[in-house]
Structure 1
Amino acid sequence: MTIIYALIMFCILVMVHEGGHFIAAKSVGVKVNEFAVGMGPILLKKVKGETRYSIRLFPIGGFCAMEGEDDDSDDERSFGRKPLWAKAIIIVAGAFMNLLLAVVILACSIYYIGIPTTVIGEFSEISPAREAGLSVGDKIVAIEQYKIKDWNDITTAISSQTDDTVSITVERDNKALTYTMQLAAEEATGRKIVGITPDVSRSVGSAIVTGGKATWHMTVSMVDVIGQLVTGEVSAKELTGPIGITVAVSDSVKYGFIYVANLAALISLNLAIVNMLPFPALDGGRLVFLIIRKVTGRAITDEIEGRIHFVGIMLLFGLMIYVTWQDIGRFILK
């Protein structure tokens, strides 16, 4: 079942990516010969208009086959005969859809969980705050000298205390009240707590904004790791492939739907970023060749570009084999 879950997740993410190319191609007038889910022999197919839609045997990807994408077609609606801006939109659209999917998934997860507020929702079993006189519904506005704007401010202010006591100012019935209490230690981590949990709010707008911010932070982290791979600060042995992803899916399923959704957002964002790297055979590499051709006036022929992309594909296959071998030793033979 874990393998099935992983394949379903991967197929959905690839469909979204190729769907981005498909929608962009149709919108700028490029003829799409086939849109396929999966690879290998065709299981089901349906021709609608000028496009064949197919489901193929191996659920390991998919593709959007455009007229004149890999050769010089005389068709006026071929990819090669479109202006640079149209080609660029088609190439970038796949990664954009994966990026958008990551934001949507995270926003939905955040809406489902709720965004923690600065209002006290419940007290823990051991709660110095309750003993000191705080009540459910109190809005925390200050802790010692710290002004409180969100829940993270509360946890930061409490954990930074050097004394055994802390003063918390709350707003209750439009009045500011200050209480002093002893700090307790969380049993599992030893961190300082006062025994409160936040009330949560559910707002579509806030969830979208927070989902966008979370996606941005994940993007920065991924780009940083890619930079460390290039400089050698992070070893290629740390990379993981299909086997590692399957293991991650298995672990996520154990913890619940939200963890699976967040993993899907992470993988979708990873697909978006990796595909836009300026490497042959990737969307980013194709975009670089478009720009070079525009600047140099087609100094690079279709044949030369095709050969370079082929070398890029072989290198990517080699990397995939290496990563898969690492995963086998890490997860299967350990």
Structure 2
Amino acid sequence: MQTAIAFIVIFGSLVFFHELGHFLFAKRAGIMVREFAIGMGPKIFGMTKGETVYTLRLLPIGGYVRMAGDDLDSVELQPGYRVGLLMNEDNVVEKIILNQNNQHPNVLFMEVERADLERELWIEGYDEDENLVRYNVARTASIVENGKETIIAPYDRTFNAKTVGQRSMAIFAGPLFNFILAFFLFLMMGLLQGVPTNESLPKIAQVADNGVASAAGLQRDDVVTAIDGNKISTWEDLSQAIQAKMGQAMVMEVERQGERLTFELTPNIVENDKGEKVGQIGIYAARAYEKSPVKAVAYAGELTYETATMIFKAVIKLVTAQLSIDELSGPVGIYKYTEEATSYGIFNLMFWAGALSMNLGIMNLLPLPALDGGRLLFFGFEALRGKPIDRQKEGLVHFVGIVLLMILMIVVTWNDIQKFFF
């Protein structure tokens, strides 16, 4: 249950901040946002505020911000449509009602001849006396169909009406907010836990499975106080003592929750990366931390840079076939790694969330169809050409990209299932 809650909170936060970036910069550019959705698939919950519907959807595989001007957004009133019109005091249309009967009060009925609901905002047709009439339509007018009300989007409030710079920023803002979230999480780690110092305490942060220390009974958070009667004050003292006794039995004294315990163990002799023989018992150091707001900011910047560098290197390895698809992880793998991070405490979980946020931001900026980076690439072509790419061709490219991404997601998820459950 703890892992499930952590996964939902982390996933929800990553998606929320990503879509929040799109949302805020779209609104800043004057673009009408139809829907702000967390998750995909069937709607679980929805709430309308202003001109935007905020929804929570069933499948935890992403989210989206639907802006006015999308292919599915436009409503065309074809000649011959019978519609009902609700007018305001100035005789301007406030509602256009489709699929409605004569029982609706205060409605003027019209058989549509022509309509412009994007630029000049008017509707023309024949009234019930067969007279040709024309009415202006309000910028905030809505279309009602089968009980569902949708506000019209004047062309200047659609995504495609904005400049290349405004559209690019609305798309780039999603990954940007993921980078901001990662930096914030790393900053909170530095402020709450402190910034790691060069000093390492003789405290065990982790015990390797099937190692000498694990077999002897050592546990995480044990503090080593002495080896063979010699006092241990720092991790460097502990490391030197282990090297001096490699292959030989030694007595280790530790403090565990105020209790003094003694263990006998023999360090294994292994070769390090340089081919040198060293002693090893299978324990990892607990770092000492210093609380400083100034250093916490620098620490957050360092972690952000290091995490981004690590992800970029992984992407390069994937592109150059040094990393196979089998090594990638999808939602199942992320859930399992979240479970592992949860077991090591809140700060490990915060770091994992920050790393995931950086990963989501960087992967979304890859110049691939259907990703934010793919859309930015098309905007770049538009800026160079001085005119946009054909919308249908661009849409087809993104559709193919979505299909390929879904196939990749299925393959990666299946690999995760085999890896963790079989």
TM-score band w.r.t. shorter chain: 0.7 to 0.9
1:88 to 143, 168, 171: 168
Q: Which secondary structure state, in structure 1, belongs to the residue aligned with residue 169 of structure 2?
A: helix
Name which one, 1 or 2, has greater alpha-carbon Rg.
Answer: 2
The one of the two structures with greater contact order (alpha-carbon pairs below 8 A, sep at least 6) is: 1
Partner amino acid for 1:46? M
Structure 1 contact 6–249 (Cα < 8 Å) conserved: yes
CA separation of 1:308/1:7 partners in 2, compared to 1, >3 Å: closer, same or farther? same
Which blocks of at least 5 consecutive residues in structure 2 are unaligned?
75-117, 119-154, 203-222, 245-265, 269-277
Say whether residues 1:278 and 2:367 are aligned partners: yes
1:78 to 154, 158, 166: 158
Q: Deviations over 1:162-214 (max 9, x none)?
A: x98xxxxxxxxxxxxxxxxxxxxx969847xxxx9876321222112111111
Structure 1 contact 280–311 (Cα < 8 Å) conserved: yes
Structure 1 contact 71–302 (Cα < 8 Å) conserved: no
Say whether residues 1:250 and 2:251 are aligned partners: no
Q: Measure the CA separation in 2 of the matches of 1:207 and 1:22.
A: 30
Which residue is 2:323 aligned to?
234
In the TM superposition, what are the counterparts of 1:129-140 in structure 2 within 5 Å? Answer: none
TM-score by length of 1: 0.76
Greater helix share, structure number: 1
Partner amino acid for 2:29? V
CA separation of 1:51/1:78 partners in 2, compared to 1, >3 Å: closer, same or farther? same
Say whether residues 1:203 and 2:292 are aligned partners: yes
Which residue is 1:9 aligned to?
10
Structure 2 contact 35–52 (Cα < 8 Å) conserved: yes
Q: Report % sequence identity.
A: 37
Say whether residues 1:126 and 2:226 are aligned partners: yes
Q: Measure the CA separation in 1 of the matches of 2:194 and 2:345.
A: 16
Which residue is 2:63 aligned to?
62
Q: Measure the CA separation in 2 of the matches of 1:159 and 1:62.
A: 49
CA separation of 1:51/1:127 partners in 2, compared to 1, >3 Å: closer, same or farther? same
1:109 to 180, 185, 189: 189
Q: Which secondary structure state, in structure 1, belongs to the residue aligned with residue 20 of structure 2?
A: helix
Partner amino acid for 2:192? Y
Partner amino acid for 1:14? V
Q: Which secondary structure state, in structure 2, belongs to the residue aligned with residue 64 of structure 1?
A: strand
Q: Which secondary structure state, in structure 1, belongs to the residue aligned with residue 226 of structure 2?
A: coil
Structure 1 contact 104–208 (Cα < 8 Å) conserved: no
CA separation of 1:110/1:306 partners in 2, compared to 1, >3 Å: closer, same or farther? same
CA separation of 1:118/1:254 partners in 2, compared to 1, >3 Å: closer, same or farther? closer
Q: Measure the CA separation in 2 of the matches of 1:70 and 1:257.
A: 43
Q: Which secondary structure state, in structure 2, belongs to the residue aligned with residue 280 of structure 1?
A: coil
Greater strand share, structure number: 2
Q: Which secondary structure state, in structure 1, belongs to the residue aligned with residue 366 of structure 2?
A: coil
Q: Deviations over 1:294-322 (max 9, x none)?
A: 21233620000000000011111111111
Q: Measure the CA separation in 2 of the matches of 1:295 and 1:88.
A: 14
CA separation of 1:324/1:44 partners in 2, compared to 1, >3 Å: closer, same or farther? closer
TM-score by length of 2: 0.61
Structure 2 contact 379–388 (Cα < 8 Å) conserved: no
Which residue is 2:49 aligned to?
48
Q: Which secondary structure state, in structure 1, belongs to the residue aligned with residue 38 of structure 2?
A: strand
Q: Which secondary structure state, in structure 2, belongs to the residue aligned with residue 227 of structure 1?
A: helix
* 1:82 Cα deviation after fit: 0.5
Partner amino acid for 1:10? F
Structure 1 contact 249–260 (Cα < 8 Å) conserved: yes
Which residue is 1:170 aligned to?
none
Q: Measure the CA separation in 1 of the matches of 2:200 and 2:330.
A: 43
* 1:330 Cα deviation after fit: 0.6
Structure 1 contact 277–284 (Cα < 8 Å) conserved: yes
Of stretches 68-77 and 57-66 in structure 1, the one that deviates more from structure 2 is: 68-77
* 1:252 Cα deviation after fit: 1.4
CA separation of 1:119/1:261 partners in 2, compared to 1, >3 Å: closer, same or farther? closer
* 1:81 Cα deviation after fit: 0.6
Partner amino acid for 1:302? R
Q: Which secondary structure state, in structure 2, belongs to the residue aligned with residue 61 of structure 1?
A: strand
Q: Deviations over 1:44-70 (max 9, x none)?
A: 322222112222333433211111144
Structure 1 contact 114–202 (Cα < 8 Å) conserved: yes
Structure 1 contact 35–64 (Cα < 8 Å) conserved: yes
* 1:14 Cα deviation after fit: 0.6
Structure 1 contact 11–60 (Cα < 8 Å) conserved: no
Q: Which secondary structure state, in structure 2, belongs to the residue aligned with residue 7 of structure 1?
A: helix
Partner amino acid for 1:125? T
2:314 to 214, 222, 225: 225
Q: Which secondary structure state, in structure 2, belongs to the residue aligned with residue 234 of structure 1?
A: coil
Structure 1 contact 72–80 (Cα < 8 Å) conserved: no
1:260 to 340, 344, 349: 349
* 1:278 Cα deviation after fit: 0.3
Structure 2 contact 182–355 (Cα < 8 Å) conserved: yes
* 1:120 Cα deviation after fit: 8.8
Partner amino acid for 2:361? A
Q: Which secondary structure state, in structure 2, belongs to the residue aligned with residue 329 of structure 1?
A: helix
* 1:275 Cα deviation after fit: 0.1
Q: Measure the CA separation in 2 of the matches of 1:271 and 1:279.
A: 14
Q: Which secondary structure state, in structure 1, belongs to the residue aligned with residue 295 of structure 2?
A: helix
